[in-house]
Structure 1
């Protein structure tokens, strides 16, 4: 026959154990919000990557064909243009996401 004092202590221990488990449980992930600095770094990296890829292709082709500055300059400029185009696409994507979030917030206000 179990002791009532022992049962009470076990119940208290289980309550404390559940509270500790709940405190250690991971929080549910919400929507990811990027800071302005993260978005700016993303755009800078896209531009630099375009430049680097264009430079690499131009340098490689120039050493292969022996036409040193011509293809290097051409592909570096093409890489720059590609980087700018990618940056503009990212900016448009961010703007559309903000507009969608704003419209979703307006609809929620109208329902209340």
Structure 2
């Protein structure tokens, strides 16, 4: 298996899926914590909580999309490297 990134570590699709889920949940929990904390400090219970949960959700989605883009780029590089390896093996034989 060709690894063009040179990191020596490939992740399975399951590991990548869990990474994306964790990124989404982390964004939500971070927004929840910040919103609850601000509401507690200012005494405005649901306002900041709702705002920051939504912002955390948006941040989590944005991070997930970035991860998906990164995974697609790695896949394209891997396929390109494999195609080039196949071509060079075909010309040598």
Q: Which residue in the other structure is 2:15 paired with?
A: 38
Superposed displacement of residue 42, structure 1: 0.3
Residue 47 (structure 1) aligned with residue 24 (structure 2): yes
5+ long unaligned stretches in structure 1: 1-29
TM-score, L = length of structure 1? 0.71
Superposed displacement of residue 36, structure 1: 1.2
CA root-mean-square deviation: 1.1
Alignment of 1:82-93 (within 5 A): 82-93=59-70
5+ long unaligned stretches in structure 2: 1-6
TM-score, L = length of structure 2? 0.85
Alignment of 1:1-112 (within 5 A): 31-112=8-89
Structure 1 SS opposite 2:9? coil
Which structure has more RCO (C-alpha within 8 Å, separation ≥ 6)?
2
The structure 1 segments of at least 4 consecutive aligned residues displaced by more than 3 Å after TM superposition are: none
Q: Deviations over 1:46-97 (max 9, x none)?
A: 0000000000000000011111000000000000000000000000000000
